[in-house]
Amino acid sequence: MPGSAPMTPPDLSRLRDIHLPAAVSWWPPATGWWILAAALLFGALFAAIFIRRRHANRWRRAALDELKRLRDASQTQDLPTLLGALSVLLRRVAIGRFPRDEVASLYGDQWLAFLDRTLGQADAFQSNPGRWLGSGPYLRQPAIDANDLAALFSLAEKWIRKLPGGARK
């Protein structure tokens, strides 16, 4: 290599060390972690509300199950026993939802008026077919027909569903 000068090594004294970047901090987290945390929080809140409402309304589910059992037995059970069992069911629900001293002493027309008042519908229980709750259990052979009996069960179901849920009054 003609005319080439001898190579001199570069001056390494002026080079600096390699500086690594600072370690990645775990705080603040990335946006995805914030979204995940918010989703978990809302999910837990929703689950807590759902469980609380479900727990608060278990009395209603039990009463509706008992009402369905009575409705299914209406074909085979004698009418006075059936009407008495329906009246007992409604009274048990009422005692469970309202103060005992307000409900336990009611009978006859007062009981039917209480059912109407808590249903928010005038003369639903005090008239046909609800009147059978007051007199039907005490008659030897009540003259209630199948339509009135079905209407009475529907009225009882409506009353149970209409009652406020949650804590006892």
Chain segment 88-112, per-residue pLDDT in tens: 999 999 999 999 999 999 998 999 9
Classified as helix, coil or strand, 11 is: coil
Neighbouring CB atoms inside 10 A of 15's CB total 8
**Separation CA 80–CA 63 (nearest Å):** 20
What percent of the chain shows pLDDT beyond 70? 94
Length of the chain: 169
Residue 168: its pLDDT value, please? Answer: 61
Nearest to 112 by CA among 99, 122, 101: 122
**Separation CA 48–CA 62 (nearest Å):** 21
**Separation CA 7–CA 26 (nearest Å):** 49
Its pTM stands at: 0.73
Query: Contact at 8 Å (CB) between 140 and 153?
Result: no
Residue 127: its pLDDT value, please? Answer: 83
pLDDT of residue 165 exceeding 80 = no
Please state whether 17 falls in left (phi above 0), alpha (psi between -120 and 50) or beta.
beta
And the tokens for 161?
Answer: 């569903």
pLDDT of residue 13 exceeding 90 = no
Q: Once rounded to an integer, what is the mean pLDDT over residues 57-83?
A: 92
Cα angle value 135/140/146 (rounded, 5°): 70
Q: Once rounded to an integer, what is the mean pLDDT over residues 121-143?
A: 83
CA 14 remoteness from chain centre:
76
Neighbouring CB atoms inside 10 A of 18's CB total 5
Task: Give residue 131's pLDDT band: very low, low, confident or very high (50, 70, 90).
Answer: confident
Peptide bond just before 129 cis, omega within 30 deg:
yes
